[in-house]
Amino acid sequence: MKIEVFDDQKILHRRAALVIAAELTTKSAPVLGLATGGTPVATYQELIRLHREEGLSFAHVRSFNLDEYVGISYEHPESYHAFMKRQLFDSVDIPDDAWQVPDPNNSEMLARPSLYDELIEAAGGIDLQLLGLGNNGHVAFNEPADSFSEWTTRVALTESTILANSRFFDSPDEVPREALSMGIASIMRARKILLLACGESKAKAVKAMVQGEISAQCPASVLRLHRDVTILLDRDAAMLLEA
Ligand code: PGA
């Protein structure tokens, strides 16, 4: 794991955007794995700036998102489909049919979620997977558990994730209880992984991910077994790490 710690979040997001931009400019058909949540928003803003001001093009990109809630439609503003349109895809030149999220409205995918992994494989596999980190150590909706999930699957959200995500809804009751989520094997197959974590609320999970036991109780800890992972942290997220 390469770990970089930043005093200034703006520089962290600029660095993240440049790692993504490097995939776009060096590959003829890059496949991205993208994430939702509060953390990547500033990275997406920087990518939009690079598109508008420096000619970064998404015209040749394929993108697969990590997860999507079950039980709300794509039109719901907090669906991850709507999030990605609003935060990135409506503002860059990616073709509409070149990006997708796991689709709970597709009955075939809901019945057999690993169909999503087959679509990723058919596209050539993910070159760069962007990840956030849950306060509880989750990546995508792979929550702390007794064993690692493998491929894309239908998952129940834990109480701590429902609470963390309730800030995007009017109340915790409105947060969907289930999601389709890429599994740990789906994520580990990416050729390169970039994880971003900011703020004190992530410090315990960062410590467990980097210096704790590799365990399904901290799903992100498994990333230590991947050969090309870069972690970008702000000072607060890094505060519990021992040198
Ligand atoms: P956040 O969520 O970026 O909104 O903190 C990250 C996550 O839960 O994976």
- The pLDDT tens digits of the residues spanning 32-63 come to 999 999 999 999 999 999 999 999 999 999 99
Assess whether pLDDT exceeds 90 at residue 235.
yes
- 3-state secondary structure (DSSP) of residue 185: helix
CA angle 103, 106, 108 (to 5 degrees): 115
- The pLDDT tens digits of the residues spanning 143-196 come to 999 998 899 999 999 998 899 999 999 999 999 999 999 999 999 999 999 999
Cβ-in-10-Å burial (0-12, 13-18, 19+) of 240 comes to middle
- The pLDDT tens digits of the residues spanning 114-131 come to 999 999 999 999 999 999
Residues sharing a CB contact under 8 Å with residue 127, sequence separation 6 or more, in sequence order: 23, 27, 30, 31, 32, 190, 191, 192
Q: For tokens 């001001």, what's the residue?
A: 53
Q: What are phi and psi of 175, to 5 degrees?
A: -70, 125
143 is catalytic: yes
51 is catalytic: no
Of ligand 1's atoms, which has the minimum distance to the CA of residue 196? 3
134 lines ligand 1 (CB under 6 A): yes
Question: Ligand 1 pocket: which of 12, 13, 36, 39 to mutate (most atoms <8 Å of CB)?
Answer: 39
Cα separation, 202 vs 170, whole angstroms: 23
Question: Ligand 1 pocket: which of 129, 133, 223, 234 to mutate (most atoms <8 Å of CB)?
Answer: 133
